[in-house]
Amino acid sequence: MSATDTQEVGQANFELPPEIVEIREMTRRVVREELLPLEPQYLISNAHCYGARDEENLRVAFGDDKVYERLKKISQETGLYNIDIPEEYGGPGLGLLAQAVVTEELHKTLVPLPQMHVANILYECKGEQIDRILKPVIEGKLKTCFAQTEANAGSDPGGMMKTRATKVDGGWKINGSKMWISMAHFSDILMTQAVTDAEKRQRGGITMFLVKRDAPGLKIEESGIPTWLGNRPRQYIVHYDDVFVPDEDVLGEVGKGFSLGQQWLTIHDRLMRAPQALGKMQRSFEMSVEWAKQRVTFGKPIADRQAIQWRLVDMHIDIEALRSMTYATAARADAGIDVRREASIAKFCGGEWGARTIDHAIQIHGAMGEALELPLTWFYRLLRHMQIGGGTTEMQRMLIARQILKG
| Other residues' Cβ atoms within 10 Å of the Cβ of residue 341 | 18
Identity (one letter) of the amino acid at 105? E
| Other residues' Cβ atoms within 10 Å of the Cβ of residue 228 | 12
Full set of structural domains in the chain with CATH:
3-106 (1.10.540), 144-251 (2.40.110.10), 263-406 (1.20.140.10)
Distance between CA atoms of residues 369 and 130, nearest Å: 48
Please report the pLDDT score of residue 66 as a whole number: 97
pLDDT digits (tens, 9 = 90+) for 299-332: 999 999 999 999 999 999 999 999 999 999 999 9
User: Cβ distance 358 to 110 under 8 Å?
Assistant: no
Q: What is the pTM of this model?
A: 0.91
Distance between CA atoms of residues 191 and 186, nearest Å: 13
Distance between CA atoms of residues 293 and 295, nearest Å: 6
Please report the pLDDT score of residue 34 as a whole number: 98
Please report the pLDDT score of residue 264 as a whole number: 85
Which H or E element spans position 182? strand 171-182
pLDDT digits (tens, 9 = 90+) for 334-382: 999 999 999 999 999 999 999 999 999 999 999 999 999 999 999 999 9
Which H or E element spans position 21? helix 18-30
User: Cβ distance 243 to 186 under 8 Å?
Assistant: no
Please report the pLDDT score of residue 156 as a whole number: 80
User: Cβ distance 279 to 350 under 8 Å?
Assistant: no
Provide CB contacts within 8 A for 221, sequence distance 6+: 236, 237, 239
Query: Beta-strand (E) ranges in 29-136?
Result: none
The count of residues in the chain is 407
Identity (one letter) of the amino acid at 32? R
Please report the pLDDT score of residue 14 as a whole number: 64
Low-confidence ranges of the chain (pLDDT < 50): 1-12
Identity (one letter) of the amino acid at 185? H
> How many distinct helices (H) and strands (E) make up the chain?
15, 10
pLDDT digits (tens, 9 = 90+) for 177-213: 999 898 898 899 999 999 999 999 999 999 999 999 9
Q: How far separated are the first and last CA of the chain, in Å rounded?
A: 43
